[in-house]
Chain A
Amino acid sequence: MSHAASAVGAGASAPAPASVTILLVEDDEVIRRSVAMALERYGYHVIAAGDGLTGLELFREGRHDLLLLDVMLPGLDGIGLCRRIRETGTDPILMMSARGDALDVVSGLEAGADDYVVKPVDTAVLVARIRSLLRRTTFTPAAAATGGRADQAGSPGRLDQSGQSGQSGQSGQSGQSGQSGQAHQHARLVFGELAIDTGGLEVSLSGVPVALAPTELRLLLEFAANPGIVLDRQTLLRNVWDYGWDGDTRVVDLCVQRLRKKIGAERIETVRGFGYKLRR
C-alpha cells in the first residue's frame, strides 16, 4: 500500500483539483445532476451530457481530463461511445453500470474502459476511483497549467513524476528491481520488438509508436519492472488500479487482453491459476 499512499499523497496534496474536468455522460437526469453536484463538492469541474451523441460532441471539444460514462444510454450507448473514443484517444474512461452483470462489465472493459463501478456508488468510492485513474494519466497540476491537457488526445500516455516514483517504490517491494527502478528513470527497455522508453513513457513495437491508454501503459510498466516474473491478478489490481481486497480480477484480464492486441499477444504470457508474466 505504500505505493498507493505515496501516490495518494501526491494527488491529494494537489491544491486545485478544480482544474480537473470530468465529462459525465448519463441519461438519468437525477443521477447526472446529483453526481455533478457531488463531484463539484470534491472540487472537480463537471461537464455533462444526457446521451451518447452529445457526449461524443463534448468529447471532441476536448475540454475534459476524464470520462465518466453510463453504459445504458439512448442512441449511442456507453460501450459504443467508449469504442469511438478509443479509436482516436487514450483518455481515461470510467464506466458506470447499473446492471453490473458480465455483459455490461466485460463489454465495457473490452471497449477500452479503464475501470468500472456498479451503481449505486457512494461519492467517496467514485472519487477514489477517479483519483486512481487520474494518477495513471499525464495529469499533474503543473502539467495541466502548461498544456498537459492539450496533449491528452492522440499522444501516448505519460506518467507524471509522482506516478513514476510510486512505480519504482512498489517495484522495490517486490525485491530485485529496486536499483533498476532508479535506472529505469530514463532507460529504454527492449523486449524483442517491443521497446519501452521509461523516461519519455513511449512505447513502440518494431519502431512504430504504440498508443496506450493510461491503464494499459501503467500495466505494461508494471510488467516491464518485473520481466519474467509471474504477477498475480491481486498484485496487479493493487499496484495498477489501487484496489484493496475487493477488486474485480476481470478488470485485469481484459486490460491484459487489450494490451496484448497492441503489443503482440505472445509478449504477455498467461500462467494458468496464477497470473501473467512478461516474456523477456
Chain B
Amino acid sequence: MGNVRSLLHWRSLRWKIALLVAVACGAIALTVGLLVHRSTYERSVNDGAAKAYSVLDTALGSTDPDDASGLVHDPAQMPPELVREARAHGQAHVFDESNQYRPEMWASRRLPDGQLVAVSVDMTPDQLSRAALDRHMWKYSLLVLAVVVSLSALAAELPNRRLRQVARTARRIETGDLDARTRMRGRTGDEIAEISGTVDSMADSLRDRVLSEQRFTADVAHELRTPLMGLVTSAELLPESEATDLVRDRVRVLRTLVEDLLEISRLDAGVEHAELRPVDLAEAVRESLARTGLEARLTVDNAPVVAETDPRRLDRILANLVINAHRHGSAPVEVTIEGTTIVVRDHGPGFPDSLLTEGPQRFRTGTAERGRGHGLGLTVATGQAHVIGASLGFSNAAEGGAVATLRLPSTDATHTRGDAADMRRNA
C-alpha cells in the first residue's frame, strides 16, 4: 500500500525525471516526424510529376486511341498555373490539391503547333499512403514515448531508492538510533553518494559525542555513588541521636541531589527510553501520590482511563511535581485527572515569571519566597515527560497558585479499563 502510494506520489523525483524525458523524446519525435513528412511529400510530388510526364509522353507517342483518351487539349480544363507555366517554358507540371479528396498531378507540354496538351494523374493513393505513414509515426512515437517514460521512471527508482535510504537513515538517527548508517560512501561518485557520506560522517561524530557523554555520565555516576553508598550505609549504622538525624537528613539531600543530577545528565544525553505498557492512570497516580507521603487531594474527572505509558517515569514526574508544590507552594495540593491530562495545582504564590517564560532552569528556584530546593525537580519532570512523549506545561491559576499540566499522548492505545482487560485476556 505504501509502495503504491509512493509510486503515485506526483511530486516524486521519479515523475519529474520521467516528465523531462518525455518532453525531450517528444521534441525529438516531432522534429524527426516533420522532416520525414516533408521529404516524403517532396518525393511523392517528384515521383508524381515523373509519372505524369511519362503518361503524357506515352499518350502523345501512341496511336492507340485508348492511350490518348486521357489527354486534355482545352486549356480551360487545366489549372491556370499549368497553362501559364507550360506556355512560358514549353512544359510544366503542377500538383493540384484544390480537391482535397482527389489530388492530381498535372503535366503539360506545348506542341510544336503552339497547342497545349496536358494529362492529370490521380495522386490519391500517394496521399493515402502518406497519411498512413503520418499515422504510423504518431502511433509509434507515442508507444515508444510510453515505454521510455516508464523505463525512465523505473530507472529513476535507483537514485530514488538511494535517496530514500538516506532519508530513512537520517530519520533513524533522529529518533536515536545512532548506529544507523547509509553505507553508500564511495559506491558511486555522484551527489547522492556525497550526501549519504555526509550523513554517515555526521552520524559518526554524533555517536562519538553521545558515547563520550554517556561514558562521562556513567563515570561520574560511579565516582559519586561509590562514596555516597558508603556514606548512606555508614549513616544507617550510627546510633540514634539528634546529631545522627542531622547527618542522615543531609545524606538524604545529597543523595537526592546526586540522583537528580545523574538523571538530568542521562536525559540530556538522550539515552533514556520509555518502557511503555498499559497503565490504569487513576490507579498509578493514586499509588504515586501515596508513595510521596505528602498530602494531595486527587480528583478523577472521568471514567478510568488506561494509558500507554511508562509507570516509573510517570511516578518520577508526579513525585517531582507534588514535592515541588509542597516545597514552593502551599497546601492544599490538588491533583486532577481528566482524560489523559493530569493537573497538579497548589495554592501558593504561583510559579515565578522566569519559569513561565523560559521553562525550568537548573539550580534556579526563582524568587526567594519560592523557598529552598535545587530547582532540579521540574527539570527532571520536564525531561521525563519528554521521554514518555508527554508535554508538561506550567501556568498560574487566576486565583493564585501554581498549575502544572501533564498531557500524556492520547494514542489509539488509550482505552477504558475494560478494553485493556480484554487485550490482556486475548493475548
Contact = CB atoms under 8 A, between A and B. Distances in A.
> Can you list the 9 inter-chain pairs with the closest CB atoms, starting with the nearest?
A30-B230, A34-B233, A120-B229, A119-B229, A120-B232, A98-B225, A98-B222, A99-B218, A274-B427
Contacts of A35: 233
B427 A103 contact: no
A28 B229 contact: yes
Given A34-B236, A38-B237, A118-B225, 19 more contacts: A30-B234, A72-B222, A100-B221, A101-B217, A101-B218, A103-B218, A119-B225, A119-B228, A120-B232, A121-B229, A123-B236, A232-B277, A232-B424, A234-B277, A245-B311, A246-B312, A246-B315, A249-B275, A271-B427
Given A31-B226, A245-B287, A38 B233 contact: yes
Interface string B219-245: 101100111111111101100000000
Nearest to B275: A249
Contact of B234 (A34, A98, A103, A230): A34
A123 B233 contact: yes
A153 B22 CA distance: 79
Given A37-B237, A122-B236, A28 B230 contact: yes
B427 A120 contact: no
B233 to A, nearest CB: 4
Nearest to A29: B230
In this complex, the interface size class of chain B, counting residues with CB under 8 Å from chain A, is 20 to 34
Interface in B260-299: 271, 275, 277, 287
A51 to B, nearest CB: 15
B130 interface: no
B395 interface: no
Contacts of A275: 427
A42 to B, nearest CB: 11
A72 B221 CA distance: 12
B427 A98 contact: no
Contact of B221 (A101, A121, A233, A271): A101
A98 B234 CA distance: 17
Interface string A212-252: 00000000000000000010111000000000011001000
A65 to B, nearest CB: 21
B287 to A, nearest CB: 7
A275 B275 CA distance: 13
Given A38-B236, A123-B236, A31 B229 contact: yes
A98 B236 contact: no
B281 to A, nearest CB: 14
A129 to B, nearest CB: 14
B141 interface: no
B148 to A, nearest CB: 46
Nearest to A117: B229
Contacts of B424: 232, 274
Contacts of B237: 34, 37-38, 41
Contact of A101 (B214, B231, B312, B427): B214
Contacts of A271: 427
A98 B233 contact: no
Contact of A120 (B217, B225, B287): B225
A121 B218 CA distance: 17
